[in-house]
A and B are shown apart, each in its own frame.
Chain A
């Protein structure tokens, strides 16, 4: 059982470039999330999805886009990369909606992105 798999692990982007962070989970979870974590900061929710075809904005969606065409995949698209998007990105999934008592959010191993 792979859990949540995200790629790439590391990437350096130039300002203005675009890229897609891939995320897939094999736990048949309906709920999927993208977070970013900056040094000394908490995890900030970028986008989330409650099922295939349904996505919604989190706290910090500007500069990002997502799609959810299948239950398994939830790619994050960065358009026109900016230095402010230098961060560690975590994809995550859960069986129940995030805040249900006793629920577990499973995270991928993270993608380290640097924009120069």
Chain B
């Protein structure tokens, strides 16, 4: 099993739709979780951290399911500008020094 696994997509959704991605991780001891957004041929940028109780930032909601070892990202009312690749990152090894990134899920929002 990969340390961090994501469905590569692409997820093609119409504007205004709600879409959700999951990211599974292998180490049950992982403690920190993140979603990054990466536009084509650009650098990744932090979208949001994921906290145990779940957290929301505008149209974006992140949740953690420790029992099943996955995090999720929900995007409501999709905009064309949401088209990007979404990378999850998890601290797999003990300690906080390193995070492991998933391969990303590509989202294409269609007019």
Which A positions have Cβ atoms within 8 angstroms of B? Answer: 35, 40-43, 45, 48, 50, 58, 90, 96-105, 107-110
Contact = CB atoms under 8 A, between A and B. Distances in A.
B29 to A, nearest CB: 12
Q: State the majority secondary structure of interface residues on B.
A: loop
Contact of A42 (B46, B49, B97, B103): B103
Interface residues of B, number: 27
Contacts of B41: 110
A41 B49 CA distance: 22
B4 A42 contact: yes
Given A41-B103, A42-B100, A43-B101, A99 B46 contact: no
Nearest to A56: B97
Contact of B44 (A40, A50, A101, A107): A107
Interface string B33-74: 000100001111110010100000000000000000000000
A109 B101 contact: no
Contact of A40 (B8, B89, B96): B8
A48 B98 contact: yes
Q: State the majority secondary structure of interface residues on A.
A: loop
A101 B36 CA distance: 14
Interface string B85-108: 001011100011111111110000
Nearest to A50: B97
A42 B98 contact: no
20 contacts: A40-B8, A41-B103, A42-B100, A42-B101, A42-B103, A42-B104, A43-B87, A50-B97, A58-B98, A90-B43, A97-B97, A98-B97, A99-B32, A99-B95, A101-B31, A105-B36, A105-B44, A105-B89, A108-B43, A110-B43
Given A98-B91, A110-B43, A45 B98 contact: yes
